[in-house]
């Protein structure tokens, strides 16, 4: 099977869906943001503040390169992981890329009370989220092997759809 890479905008449901896929089908789960936080011993927001976004993006790339192709993982990618074409190449070599897409309204609702998303801090409004999503949309579309709608649908239905793409 290879890895299942869940990509998409912040708040699209990557971590939640990865956890459900892991429980439901026995895949080992890897959350890139959590792994980076553990390895760096600091929150993503602190990495952005003290070392900058470019440093964080280099940590994402290094993590993707380290993943063994011999193990089946469901990987919850950071929202910007597909912005680097080298990351996309690495993911395509080792598995399938699923773009989790959600409406901006659903994203806003999901991220409004979360302070661990440094690119949205101070910008939690619909217009900003819509603009940022539109800027990233071509990257998600070009990277994805499959697009899966992740709002207003039961988690198990989403997981079954994703599983169908990996058989």
Q: Convert the pLDDT of each residue in 48-96 to its tens digit.
A: 899 998 999 999 999 999 999 888 899 999 888 999 999 999 999 999 9
Domain count, the chain: 1
What SS3 class is residue 115?
coil
Output DSSP code: residue 122: T
Residues in contact with 89: Cβ distance below 8 Å, sequence separation at least 6, in sequence order:
none
Based on its alpha-carbon atoms, the radius of gyration of the chain, rounded to whole angstroms, reads 15
**What is the rounded CA–CA span in Å between residue 158 and residue 156?**
5
pLDDT of residue 17: 96
Q: Convert the pLDDT of each residue in 93-106 to its tens digit.
A: 999 999 999 998 88
Terminal-residue alpha carbon distance, the chain: 7
Contact between 72 and 27 (Cβ < 8 Å) = yes
Structure tokens at 167: 């058989």
The closest alpha carbon to 162, from 16, 46, 58, 11, belongs to 16
Q: For all residues of the chain together, what is the average pLDDT?
A: 89
Q: Convert the pLDDT of each residue in 112-159 to its tens digit.
A: 665 455 445 555 678 888 998 899 999 999 999 999 999 889 999 999
Q: What is the 3-state secondary structure (H, E, C) of 71-111?
A: CCEEEECCCCHHHCHHHHHHHHHHEEEEEEECCHHHHHHHH
pLDDT of residue 79: 86
- What is the pLDDT confidence band of residue 167, given thresholds at 50, 70 and 90? confident
CATH number of the domain enclosing 131: 3.40.50.300
pLDDT of residue 133: 87
Q: Convert the pLDDT of each residue in 21-37 to its tens digit.
A: 999 999 999 999 999 99
Domain that holds residue 113: 3-165
């Amino acid at each position: 099977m290879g890895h299942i890479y869940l990509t998409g905008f912040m708040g699209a449901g990557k971590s939640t869906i990865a956890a459900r896929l892991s429980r439901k089908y026995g895949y080992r789960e890897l959350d890139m943001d959590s792994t980076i936080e553990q390895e760096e011993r600091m929150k993503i927001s602190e990495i952005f503040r003290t070392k900058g976004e470019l440093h964080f993006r280099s940590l994402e790339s290094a993590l993707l390169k380290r993943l063994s192709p011999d193990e089946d993982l469901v990987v919850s990618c950071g929202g910007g992981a597909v912005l680097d074409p080298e990351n996309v190449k690495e993911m395509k070599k080792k598995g399938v890329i699923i773009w989790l897409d959600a409406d901006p309204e659903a994203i806003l609702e999901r991220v409004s009370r979360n302070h661990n998303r440094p690119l949205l801090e101070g910008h939690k409004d619909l217009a900003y989220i819509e603009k940022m999503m539109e800027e990233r949309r071509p990257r998600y579309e070009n990277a994805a092997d499959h697009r899966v709608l992740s709002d207003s649908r039961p988690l198990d239905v989403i997981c079954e759809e994703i599983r169908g793409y990996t058989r």
